[in-house]
Each structure stands twice: as structure tokens, then as C-alpha cells.
Structure 1
Amino acid sequence: MNDTDHDLAAVMPRVMRALRTSTITTTIAVALAGCGGGGTDGTANAAAANNAVINSAGAAVSNSAAHAGSANHQVVPRYARFERKTYRQWVVSFWQWVNMTDNGPFFPNPLINCTRPISAGQSGNLWYWATPSSYFHALSVPNAPQTCDQSANVIPAGTSILLATLDTFSSTLLPPGAYTATTAADERVIADRFADRIQDLFVTIDNVPVADVTAYRVRTDQFTFKAALRWVFGLPEHNYGTGTAVADGYYLILKPLPTGSHTIHYGGRFHYLAGDFGPGAPPPDYVVDITLMITVGP
């Protein structure tokens, strides 16, 4: 059975249940129409009920078919638990890891660029992948596509990846700026605002697209984190300690990929609006286009 057959096999029981329910609904609708004394009104009601059932079943089949040719079977469903944690809990864990990761002296923080080995600082059955952030780049300069060749750093078989695509982070601990909150409530507002600016999101795994990528948006509750000594968001002369934050954006937990080489291509853009960064015209769209090349070991 190939991947397409597997996906169809998974959705067909749901479609059949919908069709069985539809048959019952149609039978009841026809019976009720007959109780009305017949005539054109009863016939029209029965026909409308039949059409509604057919349209509903057709929509279910169409949605199933759309996913059948996608890479969604490689992604943990948005509202499923993975290793007994929700997506929201994993995203909090990701940001706690990012903030605790030193920006130097041997490797940059993964938010700076993608030269840091994907294996550095990783452990357990799930590894994190962070996208170099617009926070650290001049927004007035167009952002070129990036190829992150991590193929020399072998990922152990059976390891999942939390893919942080386009996302935002706001904290009262940040130095003054557009992403800096002054209250806990502001953290939520700012994170939401910049996540709302994300458009044209896409993800492909080995040239196969992930369908409905926007369904993988994750908004965290406020969480605490400890800033690294050389905190990626901080100033060199400061020791920031512990802070609070809120994150928002698009995250996919990839199931363990087969042994061998894989290419994950993803991106989108931030479409900023007037006022996002203070008075004046907004900066141009910040485009993200990442090609991540990885190797999974035997």
C-alpha cells in the first residue's frame, strides 16, 4: 500500500459513516415530507434534503482527496498529542530552548542564521528547527532565499522535528522595540499582531506539499523562560535572567522520516501595515524562503 492508498484508507471509514448517516437523514426527510400530505412542497423538501446530503458527502470526499496527494501523513495532526504533549506545550518548550541557547561563542543561536548544526544542543525523540528571524535583519533590505544544508549532521532514526516556520515572539524582557511588551497583556497583543501579518505560507516535504498549512497556527499562553548568558535578543552588557513571553505562528511536528536524504522547503512572508513599527510607511514585505536539507540515519 502506498502513501496515497494509506491516506484514502484512513479517511474512507469517515466518509462511509457520513454516507450512512446521510441515508438515514434522507429517509427521515422523505417520510416527513410524505406526512405533509404530498404535493409539490413535499417533493421539493425531499429533493432539498437529498441535495444537502449529497453536497455534504461530496465535500467530505473532496477534502479527503485533497489530503490524499499531500505530505500531511508526515505531520502530526494539529490537535493531536505527541509524546503526551500538545502542540502548544511543544511550542513553549521550543521557545524555552531557543532562549536558553547561547549566541556563541562556538555556534550562533539558530535564530541568527542556519549555520549552526541541527544536532547542536538537541536531545530526545524530538529536535527543534528554528527559522532565522526577521528580528535580526534589516527590514528595508530584501531577504534572499536561503539553503540550509544540514545533510552532514545525521539525525537519528525515529527522531521527529518541530519545524518552526514563520512565527513571532513578544516579551517584556526584550530591549525596546516593536516586539517589546510593557505588560503581560501586551505580549499577547503584539504576538498576535505580527502573526496576523503572515501570508502565502507553504511547506513541502521532498517536493510534496503539506495541505492546509494555515491550520497549524499555534498561539501559546504566557510562559516563563530563562535567558542565556549571551541571550540572542539581548544586549551584550546585560544579564537578563528570567522573563515571560507569548509566541504565535505556524509550527509543524514532523513524524520520523525514512532513512536517507530529505529536503524540506517552506516559506511565506510578513506583510507589515502602517503603524506596526511606529510612524511612517511600513517596511516592505519580509519574505522567508528556506530550503532545509537533512539526512536521517539508519
Structure 2
Amino acid sequence: MKTRTIALGIALLLGTNLIAHAQTDSRVYAPNELILGMTYGDWSAAWWQFYLQIPNVKNSHPFAATDSACNNGNQPAGPVSFLAAVGSQTSPPPQIVRICNVPQGSPILFPIVNNEVSNLETKGGDADLRTGAALPFKLLTPPTMNVSLDGVSIGSLSQFRFESPVFPFTAPSPLPNFFFYTRTVSNNSSSPVSVSDGYWIAIKPLPVGQHTLSFSASIPGIININMLYYLTVQ
């Protein structure tokens, strides 16, 4: 009986430590923590609003460019820095390397893997948008995901799935420059709205200097991602 009691005590202690570690990684905002007064879901909508308005000309969009430039659009001097990823059907995907500057004191938001569906891409109401956005994440096999900051992994990534509110966005003009134009079914470019679903990480402001951020994800048959960012905080 004593042996069982000790074993149970060790198991409970280890379980408590694992839960505490999952909830207190000091480098990132916790899933239920506000990021400068907004939720992860709210910021995911802001992230998409920024990237959806960028025209895709000759695969120069941040979702497509493969050279080592930052390729994150002309981001305004906002309070949160956004990073993007390039999706691939190739498995394993090629690693995309980007070199970016980040303002001192700025949180960094990026999706490990995500999806959005707008009323340009599907016909129906808000519920249809939510269903479409969530579809890749309702498979029997969850995404395989990894995130590492300065060589140290960030764990418990399954806790960081968030759905956005329905949000309006500005589509590029002409509409064929819309990144997802090949899957549009509607020309409702005068009042487009969208919903996002997926896994997101918001890193708390980093110290001034050089940092490395890598993240990868795979949903077999749908998308593969492999990103490496060299970040200079200044």
C-alpha cells in the first residue's frame, strides 16, 4: 500500500508540474490572456485583415514569397508585429527563411497553421463561414505542430486554437489579385467578410538583439509549413 501511495503521489506531482509548465511559459501569452487588451481571436482577425488586402502579384504575397526578405508587407507601426507563413503541398515542405526587424516592446503574433473562409469563397451566412474555416481542424488526426524560440521549444500547442469573430476586410483591386482568387465563387468584393480558425502563438516582447523563431505544421493532404525567422529586435 505504501509503495502505491508513493507512486500515486509522484504521478500527481508530475501531472501538476506538467500542467503548471503548460500554463506558465513566460515567453508567450497564455490562451486566455489578453494581448494589449484584445483576445487571440480578435488579433487573428486583425492579422487576416492586414494580409488579405495585400495584392498577390507574381507570387510576391507574404503567403507565397520564398526569398529571404522579410516579406511581411508594409506593416504599419502598430502595437503587435505580424509574421506570416508559406503553405506547401509538398511533404516534407521546403524550409522558408525570412529575415525581419521587430520594434522593441512589440509582441509578435503568428499562426502555426490556420484557415480562413470568406464570402468571396463560399456562399452562405456566418455559420457557413465558421464551418468552412474549422473544417481542416475537425479531422481525426490533429495537425502536427512544432514551435521553437531561440532553440527552446514552446509546448502544449494544442491549447492555442482560436476562432476569430466574423470580420470585414478589404479585398485587393482588381479582384484577381486576391490571394485566394482561384477559389472564389462570389464577386461580392464590395462587402467581403471572413472567419478564421487555427492555431496561433503570441510571443511577449523580446529583448533587444538577435533571435530565431522556427515553426512547422502538417495536416496531411491539406497543407505543410516549415518557417525559420531570423529576428532583430531594435
Does the pair score TM above 0.5? yes
Q: Number of aligned residue pairs: give it.
A: 222
**d(CA) in 1 for partners of 2:93 and 2:18?**
36
- Work out whether residues 114 and 131 of structure 1, in 8 Å CA contact, stay in contact via their aligned partners in 2: no
1:166 counterpart residue number:
113
**d(CA) in 2 for partners of 1:196 and 1:129?**
25
**d(CA) in 2 for partners of 1:189 and 1:265?**
29
Output one character per residue of 1:116-140: Cα deviation in whole Å (capped at 9) or x when no partner: 5346223222111111235xxxx4x
Whether 1:196 aligns to 2:127 is no
Deviation at 1:222, TM superposition (A): 2.1
- Amino acid aligned to 1:155: V
| TM-score, normalization by structure 2 | 0.80
CA root-mean-square deviation? 3.1
Judging changes above 3 Å, is the alpha-carbon distance between structure 1 residues 54 and 132 closer, same or farther for their aligned structure 2 residues?
closer
1:290 counterpart residue number:
227
Deviation at 1:234, TM superposition (A): 2.4
Judging changes above 3 Å, is the alpha-carbon distance between structure 1 residues 260 and 96 closer, same or farther for their aligned structure 2 residues?
same
- Amino acid aligned to 1:95: W
Judging changes above 3 Å, is the alpha-carbon distance between structure 1 residues 259 and 234 closer, same or farther for their aligned structure 2 residues?
same
Deviation at 1:186, TM superposition (A): 1.7
**d(CA) in 1 for partners of 2:135 and 2:62?**
23
- Amino acid aligned to 2:54: T
Which SS does the other structure have where 1:185 is aligned?
Answer: helix
- Work out whether residues 143 and 286 of structure 1, in 8 Å CA contact, stay in contact via their aligned partners in 2: no
Which SS does the other structure have where 2:136 is aligned?
Answer: helix
Which SS does the other structure have where 2:26 is aligned?
Answer: helix
1:145 counterpart residue number:
94
Question: Can you give the 5+ residue segments of structure 2 that lack an aligned partner in the other structure?
Answer: none
Which SS does the other structure have where 2:108 is aligned?
Answer: strand
User: Which is richer in helix?
Assistant: 1
Which SS does the other structure have where 1:265 is aligned?
Answer: strand
Whether 1:100 aligns to 2:53 is yes
- Work out whether residues 55 and 178 of structure 2, in 8 Å CA contact, stay in contact via their aligned partners in 1: yes
**d(CA) in 2 for partners of 1:213 and 1:126?**
20
- Work out whether residues 130 and 165 of structure 1, in 8 Å CA contact, stay in contact via their aligned partners in 2: no
**d(CA) in 2 for partners of 1:65 and 1:154?**
30
- Work out whether residues 173 and 240 of structure 1, in 8 Å CA contact, stay in contact via their aligned partners in 2: yes
- Work out whether residues 67 and 211 of structure 1, in 8 Å CA contact, stay in contact via their aligned partners in 2: no
Whether 1:74 aligns to 2:27 is yes
Greater relative contact order (Cα < 8 A, sep 6+): 2
Give % identity: 22
| TM-score, normalization by structure 1 | 0.64
- Work out whether residues 22 and 156 of structure 2, in 8 Å CA contact, stay in contact via their aligned partners in 1: no
Question: Can you give the 5+ residue segments of structure 1 that lack an aligned partner in the other structure?
Answer: 1-43, 175-179, 272-283
1:249 counterpart residue number:
198
**d(CA) in 1 for partners of 2:31 and 2:127?**
26
Which SS does the other structure have where 1:74 is aligned?
Answer: coil
